[in-house]
Structure formats: structure tokens, C-alpha cells
Structure 1
Amino acid sequence: MHVECIPHPSTFPLVTSKCSGLKDVRIGMAPGPALSKFICTLHHLETLVVTNLNMAALSHIARLPGLRYLWLMSFPIPSFQLPAGSIPFPALQKLEYESIEHAPRLLALLIKCALVELTIIARGSYTMPPPNTIAQQFYAALADHCSHSSLQKLDVQKGYWTLRADQRGICLVGEEIIRPLFSFSSLVEVSLSHPFGVDLDDAVVRKMARAWPLIESLLLPPGLDENIAPRVTLEGIYAFAEHCPRLRRLHLAFDATVIPKIKTKGKKNACQCSLDYLDVSDSPISKARPVAKFLSAIFPHLGMINTLYEDLDGTDTETVLTSHRRWKKVEEALW
């Protein structure tokens, strides 16, 4: 049985008496001690979507043997201790949490937890510390506490921040921040969305491609500032053809104004037959046909190219429109 509602706290005792074997509980808004008390009466939960929980309720769900999916809406994680020798969240596979600031404390509870999917939504106020410091703490905690062999899906969403272009310095996420992710060799789907994107170059992209040989979907959308020129080039894109045979979807801004000559020491150029979707955002490009020739040689099944213009609903700049038109010519040439 399952419960999915926004109940009045007075109904909790009735639900407990009639449905003590609940396995799926999703409660939208029910703050206060009544909710935590209700959760402590449930011992067979497999799925839980909930708002605030107190220390007793969080300690209770951490000991549940069958809890596989947990979605915690934004709230600080209270301190609690489990009995000596017990493993917190022993069956947890999928976790969603709506706070990147407090995520490190939650991840510290996942000792020996074989987490498969993790979604973090960065809601809240960037007052202190700076956003890139928050991101660095999160990725470091993830590498310290989460199983490197089990994690397959990572989704970091930037939420609804309103930031100015002059805040780029405290928001930009670079290699030193995301480097801990390269230890997760089983990743299949990765989406990293930060206010000003992830600052990459060809060397970092090559490390990324080598670190994630099983990757199928890689989404690294650029951020708010259109004046930030991408440092990744077509040489970096070639690394995915070399090292990521399963990659089907790629979202990454890169500089396509120069067509590289790939040196393979006498070997044939890499040919990756899985990639069929490429989102280039507003990537700079000069000539469409040479780019199409390069891409079709390394990604022969590539057929769809999406641009930033198609996501803006008409609120575009001339630069975005020019980039869009040239990339559509690339798409036509691929066909």
C-alpha cells in the first residue's frame, strides 16, 4: 500500500492504526512533530518522500532495512547516532535532496551505502559561503562517503538562483572542484548544472572521458553569462569518441571554429557509433561543412543537434541566432 497526499496531522493516528504496513509514503507539506511521530510508526517503508523530520524520525528511517528510495525536501540534517555496529540506510539506492549546502552532512550518514542514483537541487540563498565553495564541499563529501563502484546516476540542478554576471568569480565551478567525481568509474548518466556552468578545457575533458567509460548521457550546460567563451575545442570532443563507446547524449559548449588534425600514431581515427544527440548551446562556429565532416567521421550516427536558440523561446541575441543557423547547417550536412 502507499499514501500520497498532503494530510492533516490529525489523520496520522488513523492511518497508523489501519495501514501499519505502508511501504510507499509521499507527503507534500506536513511540518511539525506530528509528521515525525507518524514516520516513526512505519517499519516497512521502501519509498519515502517527505519534508522536515526531527532527529528521532531521521534516526528511525536510517535503520529501516527496506528503504530504497528517499526524497528529502530542503531542511538541515540534525545530528543523531545509531547503535554501534549498525549501518545507516542499508538498502538505500536512490536519494533526492533539495539542498546542496547541507548535502555533505547527509552524505556523511551514508557509510557503506551502495547508492545508485543521486539528485541534488541547489535551492536556498547564496549568502555564505560562496557557491563554488559549497559545490567543492559537496563533491568532496560525495567522493569521501559514497561508493565509487555503485553510483550510476548523478544529477546536480542549480535551482532558481538569481545571480549577476559580476558574481562569476564566486560561482564558477572548475576542474579542482569536480575532480573528485573522476573516481566514480560506473557513472552512466551525469548532469551538472551550476549557475555559471562548469569551466572545462580539452585536458579536463580527456580526463573525464577516460574516467567514465560507461557514460551514456553527459549534460554539462553552460551558465548564465553568454560572454564566457568555451575553452573546450573539437579535440576535446574527440576524446569522447576515443574513450566513451556508449555515450548517446552530450550537452556541452565548445569552440568549433578550428578543425583539428587528430594524430593517432598510425592507427585509424576513433569512430563511435552510439552518439546520436548533441546539444551545443551557442558554441562558436565559423564554417558548417568542415565541422559536419569532422563530426560525422567520429560520430557516424549523430543526427540531431540542438542549440541555445531553440531553448530561448525567441528571446535571443544576434550571436545566438548566428550560431544556431550555422549549427543547423551542420545538422543538414549530417543527414
Structure 2
Amino acid sequence: MEHTTLPYISLLLASSLETLHLTTHGDSTSFLTTHGARCADLTEFSMFTVELSTSAQISTAFNSFLGHLTQIDTIDVNWMVYASFGHLAALPMLRTLVIRQNNQCKLELPSRVRFAALSDLQLHFSSFKTAGRMLEAMETPQLSSIELASVSYAKANIIRDILKRLQQRLRTKQLRTIRVDTDPQTVPRNFATHNTITLHTIEPLLSFISLAHVDIQLNAGFDLSDSCIARVAEAWPPIETLRLTLPYDAKHAGESSITIAGLQTFACNCPLLDTLGLLLDGSFEPPEVKTIDVFAHQDSLRILEVGISVVKYPESVADFLSAVFPALAKIETYWECSDAIQDEFDSVSAWNFVETQLKFGVKVRSRERLLGQLHGSSLPAIHESCDSD
């Protein structure tokens, strides 16, 4: 609902209204002050505004509005002032809070405020440093999901400090979802060199043993190896979605030491993994399936996001992935977004070949299972083990 309709909003508000999304370009204080009582049944409220009012005026009006929202579950606003934090924390049913920093409003950080019921926190700020300071000002004993986003460069030490703070504040079984991402701008080479995300950066997250969704996409890139992802896989058995990579529109390649063969660790440790996003080093040929006596496989992985990874042995890669991840049928690349020069092996065509082979294998196995059911018999079970190197 745009600002021009605000004078007529009273015609639309009803006592049973549950969801309200507003976009304004001007003074919204009159609406917040006047219509709070008619929004008592709201469970979801969002407001995006370019404010002409002062912070004090916004705060007074917003606090008055919040006083009526006893049923509210979700609040999404693009500004926040100190005086509103206590009122937000007092909302008994507030589970989701999204704050998007508006640079036209001065961000005033509160002293420590306890949000007793909050389970989902999303902070979209101009810098991760500011997001970290905001996080420091909040006590969130029930937090299970957090999203941090910024348009600035991501400094590795600041990211680690934020993750360390979460480790100190939350219980090991508490956090289920974390997302950290930044604007996919090209970063200076010197910055990327000194701020590449390593295992040391994300190590505080390894203590959260119930993580199911980890999505970290930062423009400085990652420097991970097979041994690093082995630790990650062992730390997060319940993981369903895992991305440790560059943003989708990143214009630079980054580097990786993760081999195709190294992905087997996820088959051994992560039975629920459905989507995996990593930058891979495909210059090494994976082992032939027939040379491995006892081979582990995982039936849940469906999507592999390889970004701008180079692959040199598509036939061997397809055979290996099909054996380890028999349900895998989708390979996603980012080459169309990159300015990087493709090498002589043409990674786009190579990954397309791998995907075609995987889809064919999935179709064949599906047909075999169907035939087995029609004949009243099942296929021989594949012996699984994680003891092989």
C-alpha cells in the first residue's frame, strides 16, 4: 500500500485484519498514531518508509502503534530507533523481527534488551560491523534462525567475531538456520587476499550440532580444502542445505582446494543433505568407482551448486557423483554471471555433460525400481560404509 493511499486506509482496515504491508514516502507518524487500535489483530506487519519526520517523532508514533499489537508474530521495518526496542521486546508473541537499515535515519543502538520469544532475527545493515553491534545489544534466548546481510565488503575478522558471539550466547542445539550474505560486487584483490573466509572464520558455528541450513555467500570468497569440509560434515549431521561460496553474481573466480572426491564426506556424515553449494577444484580426476571395494552413497542430495568451478574430467566426475549421490540430478553453475576466462576445457559444456549423465542415471534407477515393484521384488541392497578412504 503506497503513501498516497494512507488517507483512505481507514476504509480498508477491519478489526480482523491479520497482515498489513505499507510503503510510504513521507510522514507516516499520523497513520501509526491514529490506526493502532484498529490493527489489534495483526500477526504480520511491514513498513518501508523514506521518513521526513525526526527520530523522536517516529519513535513516539511507532511505540504507540506497537502498544496495540498483542497478537503480532512478525515485524519487518527499514528503520529502528533506541526507544522502540523496549516496546518490541515487550510484545508477547513476536517471533520474527526484520530490521533493514535506512541510511536517512540515524541508527541508535540500545543497551542490552531481552527478546524472550524471538526465534527468527534478520538484520540487513550497511555493514556487518553495525549488524554485529546490534546483535550485541539483544538477548535472544529462543533464537533458532538468523540472517545477516550487508552491501559492504565482508571482513573475515568481523564475520568470525559475530559467529563467536553467537557461540557464546546460544545453546549448542539451539541454532537451526544461519544465513550470511553480501552484495555480489567485485572486491579489490588485496582485500580478497586478506579476507578470504577460511575454516577458522566459521569455526564457531561447528559447535551448533543441530544446524540444518547454513547459507554463507561472501564476496571475498572461501579458502577451504577436503579436510576442512570433512570437519564441517562431521559437525553437522542434520544439515539439509549447505552453501559456502561466492554470491551468485560475483564477477571474480576465487580459489578452492576442495576436490570432487572430497565430497564423499557428505555421503558418510550427512544423510539429509539436499542442496550443496561449494566452489570446487575439478582439476583432479576422482577415483573410479570400480576400484573402491566398499563405497558409501547418500540418497538425498538433489542439487549441487558449483558456481564457477572448473572441471577437467567430466566423464569420471559424472560416474563418481552418480555412484556417491544417486539422486543428484541438478548441477548449477554461475559462469553466465562471471567475467572470468573459461579455460580450454570449457567448464559450461563439461558441467552440462555431467548433469545430463546424472539425470540419465536417476531416470534409469527410477525405472529399475518401478520394474522391481511390478515384479513383486526389490533390487539388491547396496552395502554402505564410511570406512573407505
User: For this structure pair, what is the TM-score category when the shorter chain's length is used for normalisation?
Assistant: 0.7 to 0.9
For 2:325, give the aligned amino acid: F
**Which residue of 37, 62, 79 maps to 2:110?**
79
Whether contact under 8 Å (1:262, 1:269) holds in the other structure is no
Q: After the TM superposition, which residues 99-110 of structure 1 pair with which residues of structure 2 at under 5 Å, given as runs? A: 99=125, 100-110=128-138
1:280 and 2:306 aligned: yes
Whether contact under 8 Å (2:275, 2:303) holds in the other structure is yes
Bigger shift: 232-241 or 29-38?
29-38
Q: After the TM superposition, which residues 167-246 of structure 1 pair with which residues of structure 2 at under 5 Å, given as runs? A: 167-222=191-246, 224=250, 226=252, 228-246=254-272
Whether contact under 8 Å (1:282, 1:320) holds in the other structure is no
For 1:51, give the aligned amino acid: N
Cα distance change on mapping 1:169 and 1:220 into 2, 3 Å: same
Greater gyration radius: 2
Length-normalised TM-score, structure 1: 0.86
CA shift at 1:217, angstroms?
A: 1.1
CA shift at 1:138, angstroms?
A: 1.4
Whether contact under 8 Å (2:75, 2:96) holds in the other structure is yes
* Counterpart Cα distance in 2 of 1:286 and 1:47: 48
Q: After the TM superposition, which residues 1-335 of structure 1 pair with which residues of structure 2 at under 5 Å, given as runs? A: 1=17, 2-7=19-24, 8-29=28-49, 31=51, 32-41=55-64, 42-43=66-67, 44=70, 45-74=72-101, 76=107, 78-81=109-112, 88-99=114-125, 100-111=128-139, 113-124=141-152, 126=153, 131-159=155-183, 161-222=185-246, 224=250, 226=252, 228-261=254-287, 268-309=294-335, 311-312=336-337, 317-319=341-343, 322-334=346-358, 335=360
For 1:78, give the aligned amino acid: L
Structure 2 residue aligned with 1:85: none
* Counterpart Cα distance in 1 of 2:136 and 2:264: 37
| Matched residue SS, 2:139 | coil
* Counterpart Cα distance in 2 of 1:281 and 1:123: 20
For 2:354, give the aligned amino acid: V
| Matched residue SS, 2:21 | strand
CA shift at 1:281, angstroms?
A: 1.9
CA RMSD of aligned residues (A): 2.6
Cα distance change on mapping 1:189 and 1:259 into 2, 3 Å: same
Gaps of 5+ in 1: 83-87
CA shift at 1:161, angstroms?
A: 4.2
For 2:94, give the aligned amino acid: L
CA shift at 1:280, angstroms?
A: 1.5
Provide, for residues 208-237 of structure 1, a one-character-per-residue CA deviation record: whole Å limited to 9, x for no partner.
001111111112223657454311112321
For 1:293, give the aligned amino acid: D
* Counterpart Cα distance in 1 of 2:141 and 2:174: 9
Sequence identity (%): 26
* Counterpart Cα distance in 1 of 2:37 and 2:272: 50
CA shift at 1:34, angstroms?
A: 2.9
* Counterpart Cα distance in 1 of 2:39 and 2:327: 52
Provide, for residues 214-264 of structure 1, a one-character-per-residue CA deviation record: whole Å limited to 9, x for no partner.
11111222365745431111232111111011111111111223234499x
Where do 4+ consecutive residues of structure 1 move more than 4 Å? 223-227, 260-263
Whether contact under 8 Å (1:242, 1:270) holds in the other structure is yes
| Matched residue SS, 2:281 | coil
Cα distance change on mapping 1:53 and 1:95 into 2, 3 Å: same
Length-normalised TM-score, structure 2: 0.75
Cα distance change on mapping 1:295 and 1:284 into 2, 3 Å: same
* Counterpart Cα distance in 1 of 2:293 and 2:342: 42
Provide, for residues 174-222 of structure 1, a one-character-per-residue CA deviation record: whole Å limited to 9, x for no partner.
1111000111111111110111222211111000001111111112223
Provide, for residues 303-326 of structure 1, a one-character-per-residue CA deviation record: whole Å limited to 9, x for no partner.
1112222x429x663339811111
Gaps of 5+ in 2: 1-16, 361-389
For 2:118, give the aligned amino acid: L
| Matched residue SS, 1:167 | helix
CA shift at 1:30, angstroms?
A: 5.4
Cα distance change on mapping 1:12 and 1:286 into 2, 3 Å: closer
**How many matched pairs?**
322
* Counterpart Cα distance in 2 of 1:81 and 1:243: 39
